[in-house]
Chains A and B, each alone.
Chain A
Amino acid sequence: MATDTLPHAANIIGAAVPRIDGPFKTTGTARYAVDHDFPNLVHAFAVQSTIGKGRIRTLDVSAAEQMPGVLLVLRHGNIQNVFRTFPRQQDGSMAESRPPFEDENIYYWGQYIAVVVAETLEQAKAAASAVHADYEVEPPDVRTDLSVDFDGKRESSWKRGDPDQALASAPVVIDQTYSTPVETHNPMEMHGTVAVWDADNVTLYDSSQGVVSFRTVMSEVLGVPRENVRIISRFVGSGFGGKLSPWPQATLAAAAARQLNRPVKLSVDRRMMFSNVGHRPRTQQRIRLGATPDGKLTAIRHDFYTETSQLDDFVEHCGEQTPFIYSCPNLEVTTAMVHRNVGAPAPMRGPGAVPGLFALESAIDELAIKLKMDPLELRYKNDAERDEGKNLPFSSRHLKECYQVGAEKIGWKQRTPEVGSMRRNGKVVGMGVGAASWSAARIPCTASVELCPDGRVCVRCATQDIGTGTYTLFAQVAHAKTGVPLDRIDVFLGDSSLPDGPTSGGSMVTSAILPAATAAVNQAVTRLLNIAAQTPGSPFHGAPPDSLTIADGRVIAKDQQPQVVGVALHAGADLTANGLPFEEVLKLANLSGISATGRTFPSFEDPKAQKYSLHSFGAHFAEVEWEPEIAHLRVSRIFSIFDCGRIINKKAGANQILGAAVMGVGMSLFEETHYDKHFGQPINGNFADYLVATCADLPDLDVTFLDYPDLIVNEYGARGIGEIGMAGVAPAITSAVYHATGVRVRELPVRIEDLLQSKVLEV
């Protein structure tokens, strides 16, 4: 067993620990949302709009209702008791603000217009295809240029100094517009809900990044008290931000189940993933940089458009990192929201930062070229010592070191700046760099720990593991503080009936759960030691509790504590001949268990944390190979150097950055959701036409963590890591593409038609 070689006890914090939930996934015993089945369960299938804008004149369900097995055709007019959530509230809202079937209006292609419930899935699908809608059709607006006919309001998000004056007088100016397309979340596990009512209580098996907020939202949507709603999401086949809020299929499954008084299962299929459950919206960003001839930034303007649906005010905050990455006295960031006939957008990995830093970092590269300066030199020269946006010192920032380490690894010294000047193995080679950043915070969390009579330790928290290693993190803490082997630690997550835990979003789970889990284990151990000292018959009876400790799951006297030698972590290992296993203490005291609850105090209420700007940083160095004769581009190497606080699990941490770099390759070269101009349909809504990176597309990937603890965030110095890795990949790649080909791609993804413009024609 791999755990045999893991560092012992406290040293497990920071080690490369295999996931404790891995065997459930590899053996197929992990049950995801729609894997759940119940007696009497019936199947639902959604009917979607085939127009992009307009109104349903008539919806003919008579044929469908007569078909075999059909129990209900849910639609506008017969759906009962579904409500709106108050928009933008702290503890969650529906991703799509309009409840399904609220009226007869169509706002985007694929909008649900009915749901057929039948005894079998096949019957439901067959009847769904027999529902006939007659529409008043209007032309949908899915124009990709977000600036045309814009008549909304542009809001200033950040401002300092006088950027317009500084730009007007700047000796060197860059003024370019960068665009990122609609990108669609495609987690392996699609959305889906199984709804089970028991009198006034409902349990929803959903694929959720936040079971606690889902409970709040669904209680409002269904009009039942919060304590009557339970959300279960024990395993999540990734979310990438698309599962931060409930989608209409949850509402529809719950409403149908209530009206039929039978469990209902409703799945979103891959095609629907492109229309009904969010996407990263299109952005169009004008960047203006002013600089002195020796490369000091004097002005930054970042004015962007961000697309959203007709009814939802979703903003992709492209300018969030702009005020603090570089030192610059004059700056403004403005935001304009543009409505289109598309489904509601949703946060997607590194929301705002990923498209925003594509634009800003591309412009910095263009400025370096204009100044005839090395792009790293320009970055060193303008590196921010403090957060000039919030006017606060950084808690821990080592971006310069990320550049230095990355430059060393990729061999930046050998980089010659002229376009097409580097060759290797009959190919032109290009190198580029892009910075990454993401905010850190410590959000509230409650966790409980129980020392059980069978010698096992149970940890409970209503957060969830969306594939990031959260289960393992809790087990690491419990092991570090008790020495109980990992295979005797049970972690329970993904159930809203557990103690309230954080939503898995914004890279905030790790920093939130560590203090709560630690406090809970410490308190349980303190209780255990007190009981050991107070229980007659205990070998420690009468000893001062503070003379006792726990090691390898055994209560021992501190002066007999063994040297930590080792390695063996699983059951049966006996490193301490002395002491008493904690379960024996429970037996002597006739206790069914010892439990304790720990809480995390949020950083936004912490006066010390408020004095700092909390952010993670990183840099990607990308290398591309270009074969001009056949216009063939390949990303050959990516080095990712990250400053994300102390990494608690090196394996899960590296996995996050690797996965994000792969998504970054897809974003740079392939991903784009296309909408049909006439009908508004996402026309490449499948895996043959919407290209994501395959294994064959992957470069050599190499991740380095600087591993500086950020003790302002928590006692472990750990920050979250899920979002940041995708930021900076695209500008590193497009800068490398420019270096190799002389083609500057300002609208992602990089297309062969762009590369065919290259004047570098021979190797």
Chain B
Amino acid sequence: MAALEAVIHVEGPKGKRTIPIAEFHKLPGDTPNIENALEPGELITFVDLPKPIEGSKSVYLKLRDRASYEFALSSAAVVAKVEGGHIRYVRVAMGGVGTKPWRSHEAEAALMGKPADAATFRKAAEAALAGAKPRTDNAFKVELAKRCLVRTLKLATA
């Protein structure tokens, strides 16, 4: 939904409002107890997905230790449109890399207008993970997330 730029509709004691997906999940900061933007008493009533971009393709890939009933070690969601071998539209989001669905504007910038090839995908993956701060036990995720994103980009632009 982060890659599709969904809009969350909520209703509560103070009435109705909309929250863009990018603002829905919160980073822990000093208030790790607050995970999302819902106010007390608010309920999600529905979710709007914008009309797909004509000619675009979307792919979601989830990598995990076992084949089912398991959270992602790394996942990637990509919406892309390719024209004349070049990327004309792209949205990139990743999972399993942070405390919220991680929209990567860095990867998008590295992809826009570039040829849809392996070298571009790898550069985008490097850009997406450039700011990653791994710990001892999850250091492998940096490389795994890159491979996950490269594969997803390959599938979405094929």
Interface size class of chain A, counting residues whose CB lies under 8 Å from the partner chain: 10 to 19
CA distance A756 to B69 in the complex (A): 23
Distance in Å from the Cβ of A4 to the closest Cβ of chain B?
Answer: 37
Contacts of A753 in B (CB 8 A): 139-140
Encoded as 1 (CB less than 8 Å from any A CB) or 0, chain B from 133 to 150 comes to 000000110011001101
A148 at the interface (CB under 8 A from B): no
Contact of A711 with B by CB under 8 A? no
Question: Are B65 and A629 in contact, with the CB atoms below 8 A?
Answer: no
Contact of A629 among B68, B70, B151 (CB under 8 A): B151
The A-contacting residues of B in range 86-137, CB under 8 angstroms, are none
- Decide: B63 and A694 in contact? CB cutoff 8 A: no
**A residues 660-695 with Cβ under 8 Å of B?**
669-670, 688, 691, 693-695
Identify A632's interface contact among B63, B69, B150, CB under 8 A.
B63
Binding site for B on A (CB under 8 A): 629-632, 634, 669-670, 688, 691, 693-697, 751-753, 756
A692's closest neighbor in chain B, by CB? B66
In the complex where A630-B63, A630-B151, A669-B65 touch, is A691 in contact with B143 (Cβ < 8 A)? Answer: no
Chain A nearest CB: distance from B18 CB in Å? 33
Distance, CA A630 to CA B146, complexed state (A): 9
Chain A residues contacting B147 (CB-CB under 8 Å) are: 629-631
Chain A: minimal CB distance from B129 (Å):
14
Question: With A629-B150, A629-B151, A630-B63 known to touch, is A756 a contact of B68 (CB < 8 Å)?
Answer: no
Chain B window 50-76, contacts with chain A (Cβ cutoff 8 Å), 1 for yes, 0 for no: 000000000001010111111001000
Nearest chain B CB to A86's CB is how many angstroms away? 44
Docked Cα-Cα span, A697 to B64, in Å, equals: 11
Q: For residue A754, which residue of chain B has the nearest CB?
A: B140
7 additional A-B residue pairs with CB within 8 Å, beyond A669-B66, A696-B67, A752-B144: A629-B147, A629-B150, A629-B151, A694-B69, A753-B140, A756-B143, A756-B144
Q: Assess whether A694 is in contact with B68, with CB atoms less than 8 Å apart.
A: yes
* The residue from B67, B139, B144 contacting A694, defined by CB atoms under 8 A apart: B67
User: In the assembly, what is the distance between CA of A629 and CA of B121, in Å?
Assistant: 12
Which of A695, A697, A751 counts the most B-chain CB atoms under 10 A from its CB?
A697
| CB pair A752 B73 closer than 8 Å | yes
Do A691 and B63 contact each other (CB < 8 Å), given the known contacts A629-B147, A752-B140, A752-B144? Answer: no
Contact of A630 among B61, B65, B69 (CB under 8 A): B61
15 of the cross-chain contacts (CB-CB < 8 Å) are A629-B147, A629-B151, A630-B63, A631-B143, A631-B144, A631-B147, A634-B67, A670-B66, A696-B67, A696-B68, A697-B67, A751-B140, A752-B63, A752-B144, A756-B143
**Bound-state Cα–Cα, A316 to B144, Å:** 36
Q: Which chain B residues border A629 with CB–CB below 8 Å?
A: 147, 150-151
Once the chains bind, are A691 and B144 in contact (CB under 8 Å)?
no
Quick one: which of B17-58 are within 8 Å of A by CB?
none
Name the residue of chain A whose CB is nearest to the CB of B63: A630
Chain B interfacial residues counted at CB < 8 A: 17
Task: Give every chain A residue within 8 A of B144 (Cβ-Cβ).
Answer: 631, 752, 756
CA distance A634 to B63 in the complex (A): 12
In the bound complex, residues from chain A placing their C-beta under 8 Å from that of B69 are: 688, 694
> Residues of B contacting A694 with CB < 8 Å?
66-69
Question: How many residue pairs, one in A and one in B, have C-beta atoms under 8 Å apart?
Answer: 45
Contact of B70 among A630, A691, A751, A756 (CB under 8 A): A691
- A751 and B144 alpha carbons, distance in the complex (Å): 12
Looking across the interface, which residue of chain B has its beta carbon closest to that of A627? B151
Interface residues in chain B, defined as those with a beta carbon under 8 Å from any beta carbon in chain A: 61, 63, 65-70, 73, 139-140, 143-144, 147-148, 150-151
| In the bound complex, CA of A631 to CA of B69 (Å) | 19
Residue of B with least CB distance to A695: B68
Chain A nearest CB from B46 CB (Å) reads 29
Of chain A, the residue at the smallest CB distance from B143 is A756
Bound: A695/B150 CA distance, A: 28
In the bound assembly, the distance between CA atoms of A61 and B26 in angstroms comes to 41
Residues on the B chain within 8 Å of A756, using CB: 140, 143-144
Beta-carbon nearest neighbor of A693 in chain B: B66
Enumerate the 8 nearest inter-chain pairs by beta-carbon distance, A residue then B residue, closest first: A696-B67, A753-B140, A696-B68, A697-B67, A694-B68, A630-B151, A697-B66, A630-B147
User: What chain A residues lie within 8 Å of B150 (beta carbons)?
Assistant: 629
How far does the Cβ of A671 sit from chain B's closest Cβ, in whole Å?
A: 11
Q: Are B148 and A752 in contact (CB under 8 A)?
A: no
Complexed CA–CA distance, A629 and B63 (Å): 12
A631 and B65 form a contact (CB under 8 A)? no
Q: Is the CB of A691 within 8 A of B61?
A: no
Residues of B contacting A751 with CB < 8 Å?
140
Q: Are B140 and A691 in contact (CB under 8 A)?
A: no
The docked-state distance in angstroms from the alpha carbon of A11 to that of B104 is 68
Q: Please report the C-alpha to C-alpha distance between residue A688 and residue B66 in the assembled complex, in whole angstroms.
A: 11
Q: How far is the CB of A146 from chain B (nearest CB, A)?
A: 20
Point out the residues of chain B lying under 8 angstroms from A688, CB to CB.
Answer: 69
| A756 to B138 alpha-carbon distance, docked (Å) | 13
- In the complex, what's the smallest C-beta–C-beta distance from B150 to chain A, in angstroms? 7
Q: Which of B61, B65, B67, B68 contacts A752 (CB 8 A)?
A: B65
Nearest residue, chain A, Cβ from B67: A696
Chain A residues with CB below 8 A from B63, complex form? 630-632, 752
A751 and B143 alpha carbons, distance in the complex (Å): 14
Measured CA separation A73–B71 after assembly (Å)? 40
Task: Enumerate chain B residues within 8 angstroms of A669, measured Cβ to Cβ.
Answer: 65-66
**CB-CB nearest in chain A for B151:** A630
- A496 to B99, alpha carbons, bound, how many Å? 55
The answer for the CA separation of A532 and B40 in the assembled complex, in Å, is: 85
- Chain B: minimal CB distance from A270 (Å): 15
Are B66 and A691 closer than 8 Å at their CB atoms?
yes
With A and B bound together, what is the CA distance between A634 and B61 in angstroms? Answer: 16
In the bound assembly, the distance between CA atoms of A501 and B86 in angstroms comes to 75
Per the bound structure, the CA–CA distance linking A751 and B69 in Å amounts to: 18
Distance to closest chain B CB from A543 (angstroms): 66
Given known A-B contacts A691-B70, A756-B143, A670 and B148 have beta carbons under 8 A apart: no
Taking the closest CB of chain A, its distance from the CB of B148, in whole angstroms, is 6
Question: Distance in Å from the Cβ of A742 to the closest Cβ of chain B?
Answer: 16
- Could you tell me the distance in whole angstroms from the C-beta of B58 to the nearest C-beta in chain A? 18
Inter-chain CA distance A695–B67, complex, in Å, is 8
Docked CA distance A691–B70 (Å) = 8
Chain B contacts of A695 at CB under 8 A?
Answer: 68
Q: How far is the CA of A678 from the CA of B107 in the complex (A)?
A: 39
Per the bound structure, the CA–CA distance linking A695 and B69 in Å amounts to 10
Q: How far is the CA of A630 from the CA of B61 in the complex (A)?
A: 10
How far apart are the CA atoms of A72 and B40 in the complex, in Å?
A: 41
Minimum Cβ distance to chain A for residue B33 (Å) = 21
Contacts of B140 in A (CB 8 A): 751-753, 756
- Bound complex: CA A303 to CA B137 (Å): 29
Interface hub of B63, B70, B73 (most chain A Cβ within 10 A): B70
